[in-house]
Amino acid sequence: MSNLIQLNNGVANIVENTWITVQLPPSNVEARKQAGKVVLFKLTGEDTVSETQIAETVIPPTGKIILPLSVFIARKSEILSRISSGEIGVWIDTHELIADLAENQADLNALPIIAVHVERFADGRIFSLGTLLRTRYGFKNELRAIGDVLRDQLFFLKRSGFDSFLIRADRSAVDALASLKDFTAPYQGAVDEPLPVFVRYNRTA
C-alpha cells in the first residue's frame, strides 16, 4: 500500500506515488566538514556532492522523476524536453539553497513537483524551506516532504506549505492522517492560512 498522503483542497487522502525519486550514488569520498564563515557556515557538517556522484547518477530515460538538485543543475541540458513535458521534478536537501535552484530554473512553476528531503525528523529547516518556496518564490505546484517524515511533524509541514507527505516506509500513513487535524484554529499566520487569529476572528466580542 502507498505511504503517500496528499492534500487536495484541504482534504487529505492516501494516493499512489506516480513519481520516482532519483538518488545519488553513494559517495566514496570522505565527507567534508566545514565550519566558519558566511556561506560556508551553511554547509557545516553536511556532505557535499561530488562531480563523480553527479556523473554516475542514473537518470531513468522515461517516466516522471524527481532529481537531486545537484544533478538537475549539472545535467539540465539532457532533460530539457522532459522539463517541457512536465516529467521532471527536483528535490533538495535541507542544507541546500533554494536560490541555487531558482538561478538555474527561472520559472519554478515549470516543475510539477519540488520535494524537500529531511534526513532527521528533528531538522526544522524544512519548515523554513517550504515557507520560502511558497511565499518568496511563488511555487504553486506540489510540494512534498520526503525522508524521515513522521506523523508528529505533519501539522507543521502542512502549515509550512507542504501538500504531500511521503511517510517513512516503516510507519503507517493511515495512522498519520489524524495528525493533520491536531489543531483547529492555530494562532499565527503561516503559509496554509496567512491570517492570524486576531484577523480571522473578532476576539473582542
Partner 1 sequence: MYKYDQLDQQIVNERVAQYRDQTRRFLAGELTEEEFRPLRLQNGLYIQRHAPMLRIAVPYGMLSSKQLHKLADITKKYDRDYGHFSTRQNLQLNWPKLEDVPDILAELATVEMHAIQTSGNCIRNITTDQFAGVAPDEVIDPRAMAEVMRQWSTFHPEFALLPRKFKIAVSGAKQDRAVVQMHDIGMEFYRDAENKVAIKVWVGGGLGRTPILGVVIREHLEWQHALTYCEAIIRVYNLHGRRDNAYKARIKILVKALGIEEFSKQVEAEWQHLKGMPNTIPETELARITKQFDTMPYETLPANDASFDAAVASNPAFAAWVKRCVHPHKKPGYRAITFSLKPHGKAPGDASSEQMHLVADLAEQHSFGELRVSHEQNLILADVKLSDIFGIWEKARAAGLATPNIGLLTDIICCPGGDFCSLANAKSIPIAEAIQMQFDNLDYLHDIGDIELNISGCMNACGHHHVGHIGILGVDKDGSEWYQVSIGGKQGNDASIGATIGPSFSAEEMPTVVQKLIDVYIKERTPEERFIDTVRRLGVAPFKAHVYAKNEIVETA
Question: Which residues of this chain interact with partner 1, rule CB under 8 A?
Answer: 33, 35-38, 41-42, 44-45, 121-125, 127-129, 131, 135-136, 150, 152-153, 155-160, 179, 182-190, 194-199, 201, 203-204
Q: How far is the CB of 57 from partner 1 (least distance, A)?
A: 26
- Shortest Cβ distance from residue 199 to partner 1 (Å)? 6
- Please, which residue, 35 or 80, has the CB nearer to partner 1? 35
- Three-state secondary structure readout of 123-142: CCHHHHHHHHHHHCCCCCCE
Dihedral sign (CA 155, 159, 164, 165) = negative
- The minimum distance between CB 80 and partner 1, in angstroms, equals 31
Burial class (CB in 10 A: 0-12, 13-18, 19+), 7: middle
**Distant-in-sequence, close-in-space partners of 84: CB < 8 Å, separation ≥ 6:** 110
Smallest distance, partner 1 to C-beta of residue 34, A? 10
Task: Give the DSSP H or E segment for 5.
Answer: strand 4-8
Of 1 and 80, which CB lies nearer to partner 1 in the complex structure? 1
